[in-house]
Amino acid sequence: MGELRGSVAVVTGAGRGIGRAIAEELAEGGARVVVNYSRSKEPAEELVEKISASGGEAVAIQGDVSDAGQAARLIEQTAERFGRIDVLVNNAGINIDRTMRKMSPEDWDRVVQVDLNSCFYTVKAALPHFVENGGGKIINISSFVGQAGNFGQANYAAAKAGIIGFTKTAALELARYNVCVNAVCPGFIETDMFAGVPEEVQEKIKARIPLGRVGKPREVARAVRYLIEDGDYITGQTLNVNGGVYM
Ligand code: NAP
């Protein structure tokens, strides 16, 4: 079984939302956590204090992971600080929603750059560390939108579908190094991202979810923890945490 206690976990975009819940969950399991943030400095530092106050170990590291150099620096700073990397959770993501008639090439590029390309940058930088350790776990946060498509989200759906293809390929390439690579596909989850959806649309969304409610960040975080602790024979998979909205 994957040992969380004492392991070193990097979570991208961990100041807020799902990333924050993942960082908290892993810290509770005894991991030493790197709370990466891009702009949310205060929430990230506040989370580090919270984890430290409850006896855990965490550090906040700034870095825009959509920039290959900054993504590599995040990984190098982690290795310098803790001497190893056992877990990488690619959670950072944005959305710029518009129908394709209104979507600009810049809207397309930005979402693909942040949501998809960042995963390649961090994995590439972390790879030598995983090889040196003799194994590790990579979890990429995709979305049910990457499986089902969604009106007004061509850029986001393409990036999230790309994450699934990337995850399977990384799983194939890294299996020889005992690195398991999986994707988690959340459905609609209560975060700032969902809060940005107009209220009337939120109601329509809830009506579409078989379990009748939006998910909680912690429910995604528990799935990530499961893959780390109990997923030694799980690789190249997508784990759906979506209330049944996509089956
Ligand atoms: P959120 O509340 O909007 O938070 C987004 C997070 O991503 C923030 O911590 C943000 O950090 C970080 N981030 C954005 N751009 C970044 C960059 N260039 N470099 C580093 N960090 C960056 O979103 P969320 O709902 O928690 O979403 C987290 C992940 O889950 C995303 O990949 C999202 O696509 C996915 N997801 C969410 C839902 C949902 O319903 N909420 C459903 C399916 C999948 P800063 O604040 O520091 O910029």
Task: Give the 3-state secondary structure of residue 230.
Answer: helix
Instruction: Summarize pLDDT for 178-221 with one digit per residue, the tens.
Output: 999 999 999 999 999 889 888 998 999 999 999 999 999 999 99
In this structure, which amino acid lies at residue 205? I
| Pocket of ligand 1 contains residue 65 by CB under 6 Å | yes
Q: In the prediction, which pLDDT does 131 show? A: 97
Q: In the prediction, which pLDDT does 193 show? A: 86
Is 106 exposed, middle or buried (CB count within 10 Å of its CB: 0-12, 13-18, 19+)?
exposed
Q: In the prediction, which pLDDT does 1 show? A: 58
Dihedral through CA 61, CA 10, CA 161, CA 154, nearest 10?
-20
Q: In the prediction, which pLDDT does 105 show? A: 98
Q: How far is the CA of 143 from the centre of ligand 1 (A)?
A: 11
The full set of domain ranges for the chain reads 8-232
Instruction: Summarize pLDDT for 117-155 with one digit per residue, the tens.
Output: 999 999 999 999 999 999 999 999 999 999 999 999 999
Q: How far is the CA of 219 from the centre of ligand 1 (A)?
A: 16
Question: pTM of the full predicted structure?
Answer: 0.98
Q: CA 142 to CA 117: how far, in whole Å? A: 13
Q: What percent of the chain has pLDDT over 90?
A: 96
Instruction: Summarize pLDDT for 33-52 with one digit per residue, the tens.
Output: 999 999 999 999 999 999 99
The answer to whether 163 and 218 are in contact (CB under 8 A) is no
Confidence class of residue 59 from pLDDT cuts 50, 70 and 90?
A: very high
Q: Residues 121, 123, 128, 129: is their CA dihedral positive or negative? A: positive
Q: What percent of the chain has pLDDT over 70?
A: 100
Q: How far is the CA of 208 from the centre of ligand 1 (A)?
A: 23
pLDDT beyond 70 at 84? yes
What secondary structure does DSSP assign to 81-147, as a single string?
Answer: HHS---EEEE---------TTT--HHHHHHHHIIIIIHHHHHHHHHHHHHHHHT-EEEEEE--THHH
Give me 39's structure tokens: 């702009």
Catalytic residue among 37, 156, 177, 246: 156
| Pocket of ligand 1 contains residue 153 by CB under 6 Å | no
Q: CA 68 to CA 160: how far, in whole Å? A: 19
Task: Give the 3-state secondary structure of residue 24.
Answer: helix
Q: In the prediction, which pLDDT does 2 show? A: 76
Please state which CATH number belongs to domain 8-232.
Answer: 3.40.50.720
User: Is 156 among the residues known to form the active site?
Assistant: yes
Indicate the average pLDDT of the chain: 97
